[in-house]
Amino acid sequence: MGRRFAALNFALVCLASFATGCRGETSRESPIVPIRNMYHQPRYNMQNESEYFDDQRTMRSPVEGVISREEEVDPRIARGRSEDDSAYVAVVPNEEIARHGGMEALVKRGQDRFNIYCTPCHDKTGAGAGMIVKHGMLQPPSFHQDRLRHAPDGQIFATISNGVRNMPAYGPQIPVDDRWAIVSYVRALQLSQAQIAAETKP
């Protein structure tokens, strides 16, 4: 009798622990989920208080002087400005050309990126008659006007990075090296269209 009572108690305890272990909700997961704490990790939410730090802030400022691995520190490459920030760089920095393995590879990469990001507005020739313009957006200026032909490469880079008028900033979206590649391809477009224009003159 005592053994039956003990066995019954043990069964009830097991059943109770099983019932309390149920979460009371349906799940698409298998009954056994390995490394469950990878799904439900203890963490601080933004703006919450922290018991770990003396100032009780969970959101921490970077240590002074630290930069991210991907951040470009040379202002000529990062912003298209001279080292003393007095002017735009006149031409694509040589370091950028070397990173791509030469000017030909840089222009080829620029063509690829230009076709993705720029042709909807500027069209494939850079004349500013892209598909979005045909659907009612304000027409951007042609790359083939003298003002832009003589603009420094750094200024075109800064325009891609920061935007201008109704053109959005592509700095967060397009990596630095690709922005310089686009600048190089814009220059190639300008040269090719100038040659076509010269050939078609009476």
Burial group, residue 110, by CB count within 10 angstroms (0-12, 13-18, 19+): buried
Q: Which residue has the higher pLDDT, 128 or 16?
A: 128
3-state DSSP call for residue 196?
helix
**CA 118 – CA 178 distance, rounded (Å):** 12
Q: What is the pLDDT of residue 58?
A: 86
**CA 163 – CA 169 distance, rounded (Å):** 4
Which tens digit of pLDDT belongs to each residue from 27-42? Answer: 676 666 666 666 666 7
Contact 113, 177 (CB under 8 A): no
Contact 163, 147 (CB under 8 A): no
| Contact residues for 60 (Cβ-Cβ < 8 A; gap 6+) | 53
Helix (H), strand (E) at residue 7? helix 2-21
pTM across the whole model: 0.65
CATH superfamily of the 75-200 domain:
Cytochrome c-like domain (1.10.760.10)
The distance of Cα 19 from the centroid of its chain, to the nearest Å, equals 48
Burial group, residue 201, by CB count within 10 angstroms (0-12, 13-18, 19+): exposed
The distance of Cα 53 from the centroid of its chain, to the nearest Å, equals 32
Q: Which two tokens stand for residue 186?
A: 């814009």
**CA 80 – CA 185 distance, rounded (Å):** 16
Which tens digit of pLDDT belongs to each residue from 95-114? Answer: 999 999 999 999 999 999 99
What percent of the chain lies above the pLDDT cut of 90? 38
